Structure 1
Amino acid sequence: MGKIMLCFPQGRYKALTMSYDDGVFADRRLVALFNQHGIKGTFHLNSGLFGSSGRLTGEEAAALYEGHEISAHTLTHPTIARCPKELLVHEIMEDRKRLEQLAGYTVRGMSYPNGSYTTQIKKLLPGLGIEYARVVQTTGGFDMPDDWHEWRPTCHHNDRLLDRLQTFLELDRPQYLFLMNVWGHSYEFDGDHNWELIESFCEQAGGVESIWYATNIELVDYMKSFDALKFSAALDVVYNPSAASVWLSVDGAIVEAKGGCQTRLC
């Protein structure tokens, strides 16, 4: 029986994703940095606040975030743990509807506004079409999340970002999967006068062959595709019912299990 392990695309074992909230003017500069260095971001937006002070219009957001992910952040950014569930449903579903009209695809993720959530809210989200939700509490580490509806990122960008990046880059243990997930608000770079921080981060983090650059939802979808794989009893064949490929390490050899296909593993 062979040793079979999940890999990220092309056999990688590291992934980087960026998660930024509110859809503000400073996202223009941040997205330009991401694009320059091949880094992907997820941008959590309040569609009911488009065009208000300091915030992008919906039309600009649709164009600006092309190639990244548009995600929900509720319609008007209330502290949802204090809201009745009827208002919660409205805030999420209306935000999704408006964002989907702009993005042209199904919006399936969110970050909690004001970092506010409860166990009851988490249980409601799958029924509202939300497949992941990012919190503001961080881990300081690079483990994959075990609860997509309480997704704890590695760090806020003001929390030893470059030190953590160096640790991430130096990791050399392909028997594990490592994920670095950075969150924040781009307006903080203006307020803290530290754009050089994220500029340095992007220069060092971008263009690294061993890293998979992904949006939040791409990570969720990839892991679900792995969970959907159908292995034979002898573990010598796998069928991938998903549309997208999944990469596996089989006794150290990288195997691509193509979507919709059956793949022999040995």
Structure 2
Amino acid sequence: MEYLYPGGLPKAMTFSYDDGQVYDRRLVKLFDEAGFKATFHLNSGNLGKRGFVTPEEVGTLYQNHEVACHGVTHRHPLQMTREEWLREVWQDRRALEALTGRIVQGMSYAFGEYTPAEVDALRAMGIRYSRTVSNTGHFGLPQDFMLWQPTCHHNDRLLERADKFLHTPGYEKMPLFYIWGHSFEFDRENTWDLIVQLAEKLADAKDIWYATNGQIEDYITALRSLRQSADGRLLYNPTAQTIWFTTDGKLRTVEPGTMCVL
């Protein structure tokens, strides 16, 4: 048996961009034109300040993507009291939920810094995943979504890695290409053409699921929650997600709340 992404797709790609600066407007437009999906980690306390998107546009600008936490004002996690840090995350989540009308359950660590105690606190606050800045260079799924390591920053051999992603060997199951960065870097370094070239390689691919960080976490967590009988013949899905897989070369699904015979 081989598990697949929604729609029976073998590969997935996601993006993660931090800070919510005005360059997100151009990046969102490029993503929308390519059909890519991204998660934008915002500092709610900086919205409306010079160089940042406004609170009023958050709900519409990112409507095809996901909004997630990055701390109210991007303070360094290791330079605050525990109480300050807890408020930094909790207030950010509340503000972003008010602006988007959605449940915000994702995050990226400001400056890539965190402690084990902070990770535990995030879980208690309802955060389901958080991105680090430790690049793996590969396309594997994370063991722990609270310590999610991306494939690469967009400045790190992006197009070369895209070619490798297109030609992942068959033994690499469910490859995930996870790209992160900051939109202002494209403007500062005059590298906007990177996204255009990436789209030329990867947009409209028939074997790639374009998803937000949250959609990836939801699906993989549901997949890992499946229950199987000791003899491997019965598969039960206790979640609200349809899970896709193949057996004997046939594409199948196990629907929410149902059991199937393998």
Normalising by structure 1, report the TM-score: 0.94
2:207 partner amino acid: S
Structure-1 residue corresponding to 2:84: 87
Once the two structures are superposed, what CA deviation does each residue of 1:196-228 show, in whole Å capped at 9, x if it has no partner? 112111222111011111110111110111122
208, 212, 215: which is aligned to 2:209?
212
248, 251, 257: which is aligned to 1:251?
248
Identity of aligned residues (%): 42
Once the two structures are superposed, what CA deviation does each residue of 1:122-174 show, in whole Å capped at 9, x if it has no partner? 22210011111101120111111112111111111111000000000111415
Structure-1 residue corresponding to 2:110: 113
Between 207-216 and 193-202, the greater mean CA deviation after superposition? 193-202
Q: Secondary structure at the match of 1:28?
A: helix
Contact 1:22 1:185 in 2 (8 A): yes
Q: Which runs of 5+ in 1 are unaligned?
A: none
Contact 1:23 1:61 in 2 (8 A): no
Q: 1:81 to 1:146 in 2, by over 3 A?
A: same
Summarize the alignment of residues 83-232 of structure 1 with structure 2, pairs less than 5 Å apart.
83-173=80-170, 176-232=173-229
Q: Which runs of 5+ in 2 are unaligned?
A: none
Once the two structures are superposed, what CA deviation does each residue of 1:208-255 show, in whole Å capped at 9, x if it has no partner? 011111110111110111122222333323221212201122233221
Once the two structures are superposed, what CA deviation does each residue of 1:98-123 show, in whole Å capped at 9, x if it has no partner? 10111212111100111121222122
Q: Secondary structure at the match of 1:207?
A: coil
Q: Does 1:59 align with 2:61?
A: no
CA RMSD of aligned residues (A): 1.3
1:189 partner amino acid: F
- Runs of 4+ in structure 1 off by over 6 angstroms are none
C-alpha distance in 2 between matches for 1:103 and 1:239: 34
4, 7, 17: which is aligned to 2:4?
7
C-alpha distance in 1 between matches for 2:58 and 2:195: 21
2:254 partner amino acid: A
Displacement, 1:13? 2.0
C-alpha distance in 2 between matches for 1:147 and 1:112: 15
Between 241-250 and 159-168, the greater mean CA deviation after superposition? 241-250
2:176 partner amino acid: L
C-alpha distance in 2 between matches for 1:245 and 1:256: 7
C-alpha distance in 2 between matches for 1:60 and 1:260: 38
Once the two structures are superposed, what CA deviation does each residue of 1:79-104 show, in whole Å capped at 9, x if it has no partner? 01222111111011100001011121
Normalising by structure 2, report the TM-score: 0.96
